[in-house]
Structures are given as C-alpha cells and as structure tokens.
Chains A and B, each alone.
Chain A
Amino acid sequence: MTKNMGGRQLTGAQMVVKALKDQGVDAVFGYPGGAVLPIYDEIFQQNEIRHFLVRHEQAAVHAAEGYARSTGKVGVALVTSGPGATNAVTGLTDALMDSIPILVISGQVPTFMIGSDAFQEADTVGITRPCTKHNWLVKDTAALSGVLHEAFHVARSGRPGPVLVDIPKDVQFASAEYLPPTKVSTSHYRPKLQGDPAEIERLVALMEGAERPVFYTGGGVINSGPEASRLLRGLVEATGFPITSTLMGLGAYPASGDKWLGMLGMHGTYEANMAMHGCDLLINVGARFDDRITGRIDAFSPNSRKVHIDIDASSINKVIKADVPILGDVAHVLEDALALWKARGSRTNAGKLGTWRKRVQEWRAVRCLDFKQEGAVIKPQYAVSRLEALTKDRDRYICTEVGQHQMWAAQYMGFEAPNRWMTSGGLGTMGYGQPASMGVQVAHPESLVINVAGEASWLMNMQEMGTMVQYRLPVKQFILNNERLGMVRQWQELLHGERYSQSWSEALPDFVKLAEAFGAKGIRCQDPADLDDAIVEMLDHDGPVIFDCLVEKHENCFPMIPSGKAHNEMLMTNARMQGAINATGAVLV
C-alpha cells in the first residue's frame, strides 16, 4: 500500500490495538465475528487491553457507556459487520441523546465486496449516520490510525458523543505506516470552550440583582468534568442560590447540600418545580430544556430571565428563548463567572433572597416524597430508601433501567459526587442498566455497583448475567418486581381508562433460580421486615447477585407533572389523577 516513511509498518488490525493503547484504553467490550477476526487475533496476542465478551452487541455499547459515564474516558465497543453493527444502533442512539463519549469499532466486509449484498454486509455508516456524532468507513489502511485518533478526539471534544469507525476486513489485513496520536493533526473540529466575557458579565450582573434565582443544572456539568462540579459548588456557595438538576446532572451538586432542591421535571420534587415556575432568574448550566423538564412550554417559568450555558449552539434557543446565551464549556464559563463574581466583590440581593429562601422552605415543608410503609407488602419507595440508607456511605455507583424504578431511584437516592449515577435519560432505553452496570464495575472493580431495575427492563438484557459471572463482576441487580410495566401501567391508569393493555408480565422467571442457573446468587424478599437483612446479605456477597424485591404492584410514581401541564400543576397523589390530562396532553409521550 503506502511506502514506508520510516514509521512502523503495522497491519490494520495491529493498528486498532495500538491506537487503543496509545489512547489509554484498558477495556473493550465486544463480540467477535467474521469481519473482525483479524482484530480479535491481535487482542489475543496481548495483555494490556482487557476484552470483555458480552452476550449481545447492544450490551457491549451500553457497557462502554457505563464505563465512559463513570470515568469520563471514552468507552470502547468492538462488533462485527451486519448484525453486530445493527445491534449496536440502540446503544449509539442512547449515547447520542445523553452525550456520552464512546467509540464503536465495527468490522465490515472487504472493500471489494461492499455493495454486493455480501454475507453479513450492512451499510453501517449509512445506518449509524443519524445516531453518531460522526462516523467513518476506512477504505485504506494508511488512513486508519489517523481516523482512529480523530475518532477519539471527536468523541470527547465539545459536546461529547458516540462515534463509529467501520473497518473492512481487507483493510485489517493490509499493512501501512502507523501514526501515533502526537503525529496526527486532528481536524478543524475544535469547539469553543471559553464563553463570551460580555455575556458572562451580564450573568454576574443578573445574579447580583436577582430576587428569586435558581440554578437549573444538567448532564453538561458532568460531561465537562469533575472541575465543573467543583466550580458549580463554589458558585452556589458564593451566591446561596437554590439549585435543582435534571436526571442527567444528579451528583454535580451534592444531595446533602443545603441549597439542594432535588430533581426537577415530570417526576421532580414539588420544591424544584415550584422554584422553576416562580423564579425571576433561571440559570441553566449544561441542560437542554428537554420536554421532561419544561412541561407545557408556554407556561414554563413564565416570569424569569433565562441564562443558558451550553457548549452546543444548537441547544440554545432550540426550545426556550435565552435572554443571556453563553456558548462555551461549563467549567470554563463557571470559572470565569466565579472569578468575576469575586473580582467585583459581588453581593447578592440579600433581603429579597431571604424571602425567596423562605418560600422555598415552605415548598420543602410539603414533603412531596413522603410515603407510608404499611402492611405486609414492600412499597417500592421503601425498598429504594432502605437501599439508599444501607449503601450511601459506601464507595457506590448506581445504574438504572427505565421506568418507575428509575424515577424512584432518582428521587430517593442521594448523589454526592459526579459520575456516580448512570441512567438512560434522553432515549429512555429499557435494558440499559444491566450492561451499563457491568461497564461501571469493570472501570471500578473495588467499588459497589448496583443496578436498580424493574423486572421488565431487566429482562431485556438479562443474558448479560453470563458476562458478569464469567468475569466475576460482583454487580448487584436490585430488581423492584411489580410484575407490571409500571410506568406504562401508570399512564394507562391516568390516560386510558384503566385499560391495562399488555402491561402485565404474566410468565416471569423465578429470579432466584435464574441467578442460580447463571451461577450467581439469587435473593428474594417480600416482607418489609426482612428487607434490611436481605439487602445486607446482597451487599456482603462477593459476586453478582440478582435481588428479587417483590413490591406493591399498583404503586404510582409521584409527584407528576401530567403531559401538557405546567410546573405548578403537579399531581401529588392518586386522588387527583382522574381526568388530569386533557386530549392535547394525551398525544404527548
């Protein structure tokens, strides 16, 4: 192919392994197949990069996501052509929606067979174009190392996201010169990090005058790195403003902090949503005004000036008009804002702020998350609360699947640090949590990793128990089993005349026997009195556990902003649910 320019000649397959090492990758999640055999052959002949054999390619991508979210590094998955690549699509879309930096390497049929409908051929770059930040089909081995380094650069720069590199089998066999990351000039793609100083000055001026301010933070704070969380805490302390967060941003500000309002949005707390509705200054830090957050847009935070800090220009003014748009990286912008706040000797509007804090205190006093554990059946909220109480002081990572249990975990668990909470927010991917928890455990082998799950979501990727047992990944699968698709059931109760169409799992497996069949430990608990002991038994077991927690079957998740309603129209209990959603709201999801 190309002439030797003095660099090292490597095969394409060797380049893949070398590039991963040079990029600091220590774990890859994947599944072999015909079109990636040369790469697997290279993986076999080295020990620096550990490969984890998943049971389904979707799980490889979610595991890479879990790895990335809990470390801030780029997660890597390796799949074969055709079905291997198409199985990766859900994970790629999930990572795109939640801005998670991952690299998927897919095998492809040899270049001379592309377009011939060859065995296990799929137009992988075509299929994944709308669900990646960028993707590449590499048809020349000489270009491969450059593309791989560029792929890492694109995945982690700016608003992070998934990238895919599709490598035909003949390109893996052919040799060319390998270029290390230092020798590759990455593209023009260099998103702006620094915010406009004039806009930051407007932000500081608004903070000085604000009477009813609130910080509304999101996943952008987590993605910007631990420094962003530190600076955010500094700014909250300096101003004393209350702070809420989206599902994605939990942990950026500690749940034990006295300015913490809890999560906002559809299942957010009363105090967070009321503060959003009543504020006069809304400071959005790395969130995107998602429809789960805003509710009815024309009634969203009607009397506030809105500041929006985001690294992605397309997020600003997409849904909600920003009065002060600040395009830049969260950490950079917060650093400048905090420095300016201090340099100006800024003071908050203390008198008005005191009144605002009192109102927030009144909303808090509603105690919207209170519940009563009565009788012989475990309430799911109680199960999550006990799990929280028994694990909160440990070095702990929490993943979830998608549904009611996810919201209860977000409501009843407290996150003190960033990168400790892995959940599928934007795409809402059932089946995400179990493989993600696997990826987290790989990245943090000594830590406690728990996947809070619903039985229906969990079954979607249950095959990964095999992976956990094979690699002795001691992840705890904490399943809130209500034998229902709980969130679907809740919406049917609310919206569809209590006609529970297909939301009942009639033939569930015996989860204890299932655990044993995989060679793991199974624990079942159905009595509230046994719950603490059972959780401790789960935590004490040195290995993967499936915890089958039988809970109240018809519990609904509150508070809830019904679709098409405003933040101050929250439902707090079942009593007011009937007829709460009108026809216009019903078409929303």
Chain B
Amino acid sequence: MPPLKLKKGSTSHSAYNLRPTFSDVQERHTLAVLVDNEVGVLARVIGLFSGRGYNIESLTVAEVDHEGHTSRITVVTTGTPQVIEQIKAQLGRIVPVHDVHDLTVEGQVVERELALFKVQGTGDKRIEALRLAEIFRANVVDSTLDSFVFEITGDVGKIDAFADLMRPIGLVEMGRTGVAALSRGARA
C-alpha cells in the first residue's frame, strides 16, 4: 500500500470538506439572549462559541432586570444559515438561557454602539477633528491642549467611518462597547 500523500497544512484534505453543503452564504445575525444572571453564565455562552468554532463579531452583556436577575446578552455573529440555526439551538439548550431572539430575522432592528476615540494633534488637525466630530454628532468628553476624547454612538458602520476619518488626523486610542440592539416597533 503506497504511503498517503497528504500535503502539510492542506485544507483541501480537511475533514470538514465532507460536511454537508446546506448553503455557503455567510450571513450576519444579531442575537439577543436572555439569561439568568448567575455566576458563569457568560462563560457558558462564550465557551459554546469557542468550543464549537462559531464566530463572535461583537458581544455585550448587562443585567437588564435587577429584581429578576436576568441579563441580556447581545451577540453579533456570522455564519451560514445552517450554522446560525445551530448557534440558536445550542444557545437554547443552555440551562440558564430563557430565550434566544434572532433580531435579524424577527424584523427591523435598531443597533447602536458607543465608542470613545482619543485624537492627538494641534493646529489645523485639531480644528478638523472638531469639525468632523460635529458632522458625526460626536461629543467631546475630555480635552487637553493637544488632545480630545470623543464620545460617539451609532451603528457599527458609522463608528467605523468615523474611525477611518480620524486615523490620519491623529487617532491614537479607541474603546468600543459592542452592539446593543432592539427590534423596532411596539412589540417586545
């Protein structure tokens, strides 16, 4: 029997090319996961994503009902439709998970992220930074003679665009919260 000719690091020989071909289209979904705010619940959710090889683009979590001790985890993920369905089903079977909402399929979504930008510069650059901040409705929350910290909220695209503009002007540091999201309309 001749030895196997497997190229090192070859992905064409990966076991996963025998996976079912449901659909190759990558979709981006925003999921809202309502959980009991108990010790380790976030680790369970994150561990599920890492353990099963799913993507996390953004993740936010905070207790939203202090009396009922429930938290809302908003997670933005990408995958094929079949993977997205798997993620929802896998999340749904975690014991402290009450509900999994796929906001992307449930209708229109409001998505917002908050970001802080530190921009260094003097003279024209400083003036240009303020002008752009005004256009993007970013607020100055800290200032020195040669720097600003801007606060901006918006969807991910807006914040990315603001970052792209600020980078040549003197963006030196950025902090982002990740996405919080709700469905549009009256229904909860």
Q: Which residues of A approach B to under 8 Å, CB–CB? A: 125-126, 129-130, 133-134, 137, 154, 158-159, 187-189, 296-298, 312-314, 316-321, 495-498, 564, 578-579, 583-584, 586-588
B168 within 8 A of A: no
Query: In the complex, which residues of chain B have a beta carbon less than 8 angstroms from the beta carbon of A498?
Result: 1
Query: In the complex, which residues of chain A have a beta carbon less than 8 angstroms from the beta carbon of B20?
Result: 297-298, 319-321
Q: Is the CB of A188 within 8 A of B43?
A: no
B15 within 8 A of A: yes
What's the Cα separation between A587 and B92 when bound, in Å? 32
Q: Which residues of B approach A to under 8 Å, CB–CB? A: 1-6, 13-15, 17-22, 36, 39-40, 43-44, 47, 51, 82, 85-86, 89-90, 92-96, 98
Q: Is the CB of A318 within 8 A of B86?
A: yes
Q: Is the CB of A189 within 8 A of B95?
A: yes
Query: In the complex, which residues of chain B have a beta carbon less than 8 angstroms from the beta carbon of A134?
Result: 94-96
Query: In the complex, which residues of chain B have a beta carbon less than 8 angstroms from the beta carbon of A129?
Result: 40, 43-44, 47
> What total of A-B pairs shows CB separation below 8 Å?
76
Q: Shortest CB–CB separation between residue A150 and chain B, in angstroms?
A: 9
Q: Is the CB of A587 within 8 A of B93?
A: no
Chain A interface main SS type? loop
Q: Is the CB of A126 within 8 A of B95?
A: no
Query: In the complex, which residues of chain A have a beta carbon less than 8 angstroms from the beta carbon of B47?
Result: 129-130
What's the Cα separation between A498 and B90 when bound, in Å? 41
Query: In the complex, which residues of chain B have a beta carbon less than 8 angstroms from the beta carbon of A588?
Result: 15, 18
Q: Shortest CB–CB separation between residue B74 and chain A, in angstroms?
A: 21
Q: Is the CB of B93 within 8 A of A298?
A: no
Q: Is the CB of A313 within 8 A of B89?
A: yes
- A297 touching B19 in the complex, CB below 8 Å, given contacts A314-B90, A583-B5: yes
Query: In the complex, which residues of chain A have a beta carbon less than 8 angstroms from the beta carbon of B3?
Result: 497
Q: Name B1's contact: one of A130, A154, A297, A578 (CB within 8 Å).
A: A578
Query: In the complex, which residues of chain A have a beta carbon less than 8 angstroms from the beta carbon of B5?
Result: 583
Query: In the complex, which residues of chain B have a beta carbon less than 8 angstroms from the beta carbon of A495?
Result: 4
What's the Cα separation between A317 and B6 when bound, in Å? 31
Q: Is the CB of B95 within 8 A of A564?
A: no
Q: Is the CB of A298 within 8 A of B1?
A: no
- A130 touching B95 in the complex, CB below 8 Å, given contacts A298-B21, A564-B18, A586-B4: no
**Pairs A–B under 8 Å by Cβ, sample size 24:** A125-B40, A126-B43, A129-B43, A129-B44, A130-B51, A134-B94, A134-B96, A187-B96, A297-B19, A298-B20, A313-B92, A314-B90, A316-B89, A317-B82, A321-B22, A496-B4, A497-B1, A497-B3, A579-B1, A583-B4, A583-B5, A584-B17, A584-B18, A587-B14
Q: Name A188's contact: one of B4, B13, B98 (CB within 8 Å).
A: B98
What's the Cα separation between A584 and B17 when bound, in Å? 9
Q: Shortest CB–CB separation between residue A149 and chain B, in angstroms?
A: 14
Q: Is the CB of A298 within 8 A of B22?
A: no
What's the Cα separation between A296 and B18 when bound, in Å? 7
Q: Shortest CB–CB separation between residue A567 and chain B, in angstroms?
A: 14
